[in-house]
Chains A and B, each alone.
Chain A
Amino acid sequence: MSTPYAKLPAWADYGLIPVINLFVAFAVAGLVVLLVGESPVQAATLLIKGAFGSGAGIGYTLYYATSFIFTGLAVAVAFHCGLFNIGGEGQAYVGGLGVAIVCLSFDSVFPWWVNFPLAILGSAAIGAFWAMIPAILQAKRGSHIVITTIMFNFIAASLMVYLLVGPLKPANSMAPQTRTFAQDAWLPKLGWVLELFGASIRSTPLNLSFVLALVMAVVVWVLIWRTKLGYEIRTYGFSPKAAKYAGVGEARIIVVTMMLSGALAGMMALNPVMGDQHRLQLDFVTGAGFVGIAVALMGRSHPAGIVPAAILFGMLYQGGAEISFVMPNISRDMIVIIQGLVILFAGALEHMFRPSLQAALASLSPKSMGMNATKREGA
């Protein structure tokens, strides 16, 4: 998205500003920790120890990160087109339906390496479908995509509750979930990779979908920066008018981008449903769709930023659980605050430190700010 502000040197724009914003977000989070009467330094130590101190900890950290890579990429793809897809939560939720349909139908028919690609297709297709409706409504009827995707989150939640307490529930069970899939619909765990590095773990939820997430990060990079479609998406995001004059079909680009975004969000369901719980449960997304917004903002919508940002949030999720054992006042809900602060400082207030940073840089080396001559042109 274009900014009304002057340009900074690239290293400041992509390195310094995100670091400052993150630092402020975590400093405010530290204040909250102080407010509930605990030591922020001790909390941070516990957090890092919980997330990376043991093989099992690393396994959980990367397991959570897997979900966030998918949803972060989903939000980022839409950002490049100037669209705010706030419906990742709902798209991931219905994506679980795609995984469950494939797994319940074929779990005793095919081996896992056939079921896996089928489930990828299933989750991506349903996720894309769920994003397609708001996209078409935006492209053809002009309804605001943010509002429609929020509404679709709620509709998805109602739909899934209906399906899980009704048609999808086995007749002899009370719990709102599907039956457990047979072993042939379980994704292989990646615990052995961690053991190669000398960690010893009994069980880890980390599974093959982590590799898929990394592959998708590369795919998104290629798509956005190395293909014609990606160029059109970025052009439309930068200036819809310019894209239109250049012959980019407005409706087509909106719908295609949102479907890609929805597909990525839908694939997030593979990780918990096929990789760990082996059944479809109520609320299995647990906010991962929303974390994607923070991850995409923090990673500046670039896969190379999104993967570390997702791992950072995975660390917060896993480490947060560890903190709550020692400090009962701090539960995992702390993450929700940090997530909000990151969205606030890295997103809405991203320009806050820019003017002062600019002034500081200009006073240090006036020459490097020579590009300021064109400052007011775009604004």
Chain B
Amino acid sequence: MDTLVQLLDAMVRVSVPLLLACLAGLYSERSGVFDIGLEGKMLAGAFAGAAAAAASGSAWIGLSAAILVAVFLALVHGFASITHRGNQIVSGVAINFIAAGSTIILGQAWFRQGGRTPSLAGDARFQTIELPGAAAVRDVPVLGPIYSEIISGHSILVYFAFFMVPFTWWALFRTRFGLRLRAVGENPAAVDTAGISVTWLRYRAVIITGILTGVAGAYLSVAQNAGFVKDMTAGKGFIALAALIFAKWKPVPAMFACLLFGFLEASSIRFQGMDWPLVGRVPVQLINALPFVLTVILLAGFIGRAVPPKAGGVAYVKER
């Protein structure tokens, strides 16, 4: 029981950056802008967050810096792929490299700790929050540990991430903005005909993507860890992309996909080198590769079919 609770607790913690990045990608891709630069924006956000938090001593200033930098990179992506109708994949790849290189170079130049930022403590980090009554119900069987260990005792960004799931659903499926956002990803010409600016809608989607990837980055370096480490996203942006496809571009399934991939990651750390009955030792590399293998299988249409937004990846050319 204890092992399970710890495992689920770890699952929540490692799935948060995936979830934030996944929702970030959801806005962008639903508007018809593919974004494989989630990884880079998250990484740049993590670096900016940790650097600003270290310099100012405030986690909130760190978070703001992370969001600013990630939004800036998102706007570069928008500028290339919306304004100049460049190839969206190429632009995303470029952003990943720019982020990977500049975080290391600037980190080394500013802090001289081999690409790390100084380690954060106290107010410079987001502290965990004990939900009311967590201590009181700890001893209640089953529900007690679930509430006090798994649900309570996370930083505010974790709650923000899970709050964003119903919020995204509401924004996408119950507001005028959401309807237009989805329409512009399916048929931009129709939206244009209705007199709504395709460009401005897509830019807004890309900015939301920037904000959420910034929060994801700040979570990594200012909440989950106490500082930035070189290449700390380690493919999380791509796993988030995989989760997005897995969830067929829908917010609630996206949460479950991220929890599933988070569970795989948590258990690969937890059960490293353990012998299982019947199968023996499962190589940890196999578990690490599982999210990617699952996504490939899903994309191939063997478990249901993932159909991306119709106008995704195509720049809109207005008729004159």
Contacts and interface: CB of A to CB of B under 8 A. Distances in A.
A343 B94 contact: yes
B93 A86 contact: yes
Closest 7 CB pairs of A and B: A340-B97, A336-B101, A337-B101, A348-B91, A143-B299, A340-B98, A348-B86
B87 interface: yes
Contact of B299 (A36, A144, A349): A144
A155 B88 CA distance: 24
B281 to A, nearest CB: 11
Chain B interface, >50% SS class? helix
A166 interface: yes
Contacts of A340: 93-101
Contacts of A347: 86-87, 90-91, 93-94
B166 interface: no
B105 A32 contact: yes
Contacts of A223: none
A337 B73 CA distance: 14
Interface in A22-54: 32, 35-37
A199 to B, nearest CB: 31
Interface stretch (A178-186, A201-209, A326-334): A326-334
A161 B283 CA distance: 10
Interface residues of B, number: 49
Interface in A63-110: 84, 86
B235 interface: yes
A352 B101 contact: no
A352 B90 contact: no
A343 B301 CA distance: 32
A348 B93 CA distance: 9
A210 B99 CA distance: 31
Say what secondary structure dominates the interface of chain A. Answer: helix
A379 B238 CA distance: 33
A129 interface: no
A349 B80 contact: yes
A144 B308 contact: yes
A317 interface: no
Contacts of A344: 76, 80, 91, 94-95, 98
B93 A148 contact: no
A4 B85 contact: yes
Contact of A331 (B108, B245, B315, B320): B108
Contact of A146 (B36, B91, B96, B104): B36
A150 B94 contact: no
Contacts of B288: 158
A293 interface: yes
Contact of B109 (A37, A293, A337, A341): A37
Given A351-B85, A352-B84, A154 B299 contact: no
Given A36-B109, A146-B36, 20 more contacts: A35-B109, A36-B106, A143-B301, A144-B308, A146-B89, A148-B296, A150-B36, A151-B238, A154-B292, A158-B286, A158-B288, A159-B289, A162-B286, A293-B90, A297-B90, A328-B108, A340-B96, A343-B94, A344-B95, A348-B86
